[in-house]
Structure 1
Amino acid sequence: MRVMAQIAMVMNLDKCIGCHTCSVTCKQVWTNRQGTEYVWFNNVETLPGQGYPRRWEDQERWKGGWERTRSGRLRLRAGGRAKRLSTIFANPDMPTLDDYYEPWTYDYKNLTDAPAGDDLPVARPYSQTSGEPMDTVAWGPNWDDNLGGAPENAPKDPLVQKVGDRIRFEFEQSFMFYLPRVCEHCLNPACVSACPSGAMYKRAEDGIVLVDQDRCRGWRMCVSSCPYKKVYFNHATGKAEKCTFCFPRLELGMPTVCAETCVGRMRYLGVMLYDADRVAEAAAVEDEHDLYPAQLEAFLDPRDPAVAAAARASGITGEWLDAARRSPVFDLIRTYQVALPLHPEYRTLPMVWYVPPLSPVVDAVAATGHDGEDAGNLFGAIDTLRIPVEYLAELLTAGDTYAVEAVLRRMAAMRVHMRARNLGEEPDPGIAAAVRLTGDELEEMFRLLAVAKYEDRYVIPSAARADAEALLGEDAACPVGEKPGKPTLLNLSPTRRRPA
């Protein structure tokens, strides 16, 4: 057993309101500069929809992630080293700017400087990359927002095409939910393995995947190999860039910018311990439906004395062990098992997990005149969601509907249990038992998902605080800043690498 630690995130999709605050604040901090006009490290997609870049989930087209060979080994979908080298100057699987969107702004100056006349002045759009006027604005990073463009765009969602005709896009039948996305900081990252120059690496101390800007040569194999399309090319610097998980903030014990500014309070950050010797085995299981449980088995319980001893022997400090024991992420993923990985079939073992949405099923039951919080009604209605369970399963469990139904039943049981508690009634213990939890566990799950305080949602060890403050000096209160003469934050830790 080789114990390693990873900072992980869980997002509760039941609470996301699609306000894009996380996207805007992330962009203002990390990609508000030349060369990154089209780049969104964090974006929020409306599902069903094509997403950003368009149809990023279509790996038959993009060849991202890993695939299992007949011999049981893993190889990149993009092909072996020889194939990737043969396409290094002309990669057919590379997204173009049109697949993302051509960033634009408006000629606001014309509104104020246009001479007086009979016609009202207009602010024409022009490209932020070429500077040329644009005839039309045809696509954007949130073009599908609130089902904008449906039913024309939503049926092009690759998951909709897998599920088939069970999803309706007539207005009175449609349903949507929001999916915030960042880099998954995977345990088995395809981008790291695909990088020819070795610039992509996974930090040994916290598992964050970064790009060494000094070593990057702009081959962009990382862009095409990432199945989540969360690595971008900066056309001004000729380097690859990606979400850094706001590691300068994490080193100070602070949450990421997207989590800090989340209006819905639906993001959680914490430490997960895992057995590094089981990563390859978990990623290479034969049946895609077994990928989620295999990754669960790779996680270790920090409360287990044997795990704690092995962690100390691996160099994990007491502060990190304590954070792992109090981790809200561990509780949501392992203890209550209500968080699921995004597209485990890509075999990267992602470390940003999601609690699937349940709210619409309550509304749907109530609209029929029945009690929307009754356990029997809720359990029976899960199969009749407008967005079918099959769609959620294609998104979160490689198509395994049983795992998604188990999570939704636990969420429904929590609501029924807490309703009885709030009305002063004695909750039925059979409801908790039906989802293999106790009443106390349902109440603890409710506190974590519904009313958790700041310090309960973000449990981040700050072991690097002294080093970070020494680097940042008087700027420590604003860890994303940079002063002349000081090292670029993107390269604070270029030598602390984890083997791919």
Structure 2
Amino acid sequence: MKIKAQISMVLNLDKCLGCHTCSITCKNTWTNREGAEYMYFNNVETRPGVGYPKNWENQEKWKGGWSLDKSGHLALATGSKTNRLMKLFYHPEQPELTDYFEPWTYDYETLIHSGRKNNQPVARPRSLVTKQKMEVTWGPNWDDDLAGGEHARADVNLKKMGDHIVFDYEEVFMRYLPRLCNHCLNPACVAACPSGAIYKRDEDGVVLVSQDVCRGWRHCVPSCPYKKIFYNWETNKAEKCVFCYPRLENGLPQICAETCVGRMRYVGVVLYDMDKVEEMASTVNEQDIYEHTVDLLLDPNNPAVIDAAREAGISEAWLKAAQKSPVYKLVKEWKVALPLHPEYRTLPMVWYIPPLSPILQRVTSDVYLPDAHEMRVPVQYLANMFTAGNVETLSNTLQRILDMREYMRRRETNDEPIAHDVDLTEKQMYAMYKLLALSKYNDRFVIPTDIDMSQEGRQHMQHNRGFACPTGGCK
């Protein structure tokens, strides 16, 4: 057993307002420079919809992530190393600028320097890439709040459901989906990079791109199934979400989590067994990958896990953070958080609590809340996003959240206990309620700092970064 620590995040979709504050603060912090205008390390998509870039979930077109070859081993969906090298100068699965949008500004000088005329001068859009005049036909969040329109009908997850979804007014449903790099345990971008510029930090699992090593081959862009790696057309380098690692090293959450108006993001440490990553990602039935990913996460209160973690050089500060982690509770203990498209086999470490509302009210008055299958957001649609189409797993997740809500209602009104069997104890449901509804800053963000790291742990991490181990005990 080789234990590693991973900084992870959970997003509660029931509390997302779609205000895009996270996108704005992320962009102002990390991508406010030339060549990065179209980059949104964090973006919020309206669902159903095509997302950003357009139809990024259509892996038949993009061939991102991993697949199993004929012998049952993991292989990049973009092809073998030889096939990828043959696509070096022409890559048919490479997203184009039109799949994102062509950055533009407006010709404000026309307004400022225009002389006296009979007609009002107009500031027309001008491309930031070609510097030529252009017509704006697409942009970030172009389909924002248009879940009943033509863009929604192109949603890949809806196409998998058949024809029984009707886009009449009373049948329309809409939710928001914030997205960022998942900092996966089995990242396809790392394996696809010919230069070895993309790497996963040993100390916290953050996936980064070395700007000095990157040669701009762009194999990482199509290989990422979530399309969260971007190509800077000015520097000719790949860029991506860095999980705000300078903030993490100082005990602060990511800027998107810090500024979230809905307080729907939770950040914490999880421990996992690195030796089992390949085995779990190679699961034959893609609907079982979620359960196997959860099995990878280790109990930070288990004495055997604690001893193995200490032996691996994980400091006491990180162990304490893992024991208090809200992510571990939501993902492993209560099982209410799910990964986005686990069938891509990258084992993502950004998790989502699926939304309940808007819900359909029952006619009968003796029941407070509907069952999971009576949600206005179709369970099959959510299952296509979070459980590789496994409706039962998704329904069980929603039912746990519904049970918690019903338990709190009955607790406040002193009614009889919940009639049906529940997966969680009353103590667990109350703890879940406090974390999801009443949690304070220090409850949502449990992040260790390098300052708190023991000297021995720091030495081991320095060795893992390429320095000589002063103690001689590093392996």
Same fold (TM over 0.5): yes
Please give the residue correspondences for 1:82-97 in structure 2 after superposition, counting only pairs within 5 Å.
82-97=82-97
Query: TM-score of the superposition, structure 2-length normalised?
Result: 0.93
- Which stretch shifts more, 231-240 or 98-107? 98-107
Distance in 2 of aligned mates of 1:51 and 1:464: 39
Check conservation: 2:406, 2:418, Cα contact below 8 A.
no
Distance in 2 of aligned mates of 1:16 and 1:92: 35
Note the C-alpha offset of 1:464: 4.7
Distance in 1 of aligned mates of 2:307 and 2:268: 20
One-letter identity of the residue aligned with 1:36: A
Distance in 2 of aligned mates of 1:164 and 1:49: 16
Note the C-alpha offset of 1:418: 1.1
Distance in 1 of aligned mates of 2:398 and 2:53: 29
Distance in 2 of aligned mates of 1:427 and 1:358: 24
- SS at 1:192 equivalent: helix
1:407 aligns with 2:400: no
Note the C-alpha offset of 1:167: 2.3
One-letter identity of the residue aligned with 1:400: N
Partner of residue 121, structure 2: 121
1:443 aligns with 2:412: no
Over the aligned positions, Cα root-mean-square deviation in angstroms equals: 1.9
Deviations 1:251-300 (A, max 9, x none): 00000000000000000100010000110010001101110011111110
Quick one: structure 1 residues 243 and 459, their matched pair in 2 at CA, closer, same or farther if it must change by over 3 Å?
same
- Which stretch shifts more, 182-191 or 66-75? 66-75
Note the C-alpha offset of 1:346: 0.3
Please give the residue correspondences for 1:116-265 in structure 2 after superposition, counting only pairs within 5 Å.
116-134=116-134, 136-147=135-146, 150-265=148-263
- SS at 1:353 equivalent: strand
Distance in 1 of aligned mates of 2:218 and 2:402: 44
Check conservation: 2:49, 2:154, Cα contact below 8 A.
yes
Check conservation: 1:344, 1:350, Cα contact below 8 A.
yes
Structure 1 unaligned blocks of 5 or more? 468-492
Deviations 1:436-458 (A, max 9, x none): 11111111101111111000000
Check conservation: 2:357, 2:377, Cα contact below 8 A.
no
The one of 420, 442, 449 equivalent to 2:410 is: 420
Distance in 1 of aligned mates of 2:439 and 2:316: 24
Check conservation: 2:318, 2:453, Cα contact below 8 A.
no
The one of 380, 383, 386 equivalent to 1:390 is: 380
Check conservation: 2:200, 2:208, Cα contact below 8 A.
yes
Deviations 1:93-142 (A, max 9, x none): 100000111122223343444334432232211212222111x2111121
Deviations 1:348-381 (A, max 9, x none): 00000000000212xx21xx6555x935x511xx
Please give the residue correspondences for 1:41-56 in structure 2 after superposition, counting only pairs within 5 Å.
41-56=41-56
- SS at 1:308 equivalent: helix
- SS at 1:50 equivalent: coil
One-letter identity of the residue aligned with 1:415: R
Please give the residue correspondences for 1:336-347 in structure 2 after superposition, counting only pairs within 5 Å.
336-347=334-345
Note the C-alpha offset of 1:392: 0.4
Quick one: structure 1 residues 223 and 110, their matched pair in 2 at CA, closer, same or farther if it must change by over 3 Å?
same
- SS at 2:67 equivalent: strand
Query: TM-score of the superposition, structure 1-length normalised?
Result: 0.89
Note the C-alpha offset of 1:496: 2.9
Quick one: structure 1 residues 43 and 327, their matched pair in 2 at CA, closer, same or farther if it must change by over 3 Å?
same
Check conservation: 1:255, 1:458, Cα contact below 8 A.
yes
Check conservation: 1:101, 1:140, Cα contact below 8 A.
yes
Check conservation: 1:41, 1:230, Cα contact below 8 A.
yes
Quick one: structure 1 residues 74 and 111, their matched pair in 2 at CA, closer, same or farther if it must change by over 3 Å?
same
Distance in 2 of aligned mates of 1:41 and 1:101: 15
Note the C-alpha offset of 1:88: 1.2
One-letter identity of the residue aligned with 1:284: S
Structure 2 unaligned blocks of 5 or more? 455-461, 467-475
- SS at 1:7 equivalent: strand
The one of 441, 454, 457 equivalent to 1:454 is: 441
Distance in 2 of aligned mates of 1:8 and 1:188: 14
Please give the residue correspondences for 1:91-106 in structure 2 after superposition, counting only pairs within 5 Å.
91-106=91-106
Distance in 2 of aligned mates of 1:216 and 1:41: 18
One-letter identity of the residue aligned with 2:169: F
Deviations 1:302-344 (A, max 9, x none): 0101100000011101100000000000000011100000000
Partner of residue 66, structure 2: 66
Distance in 2 of aligned mates of 1:465 and 1:101: 44
- SS at 2:169 equivalent: coil
Note the C-alpha offset of 1:422: 2.7
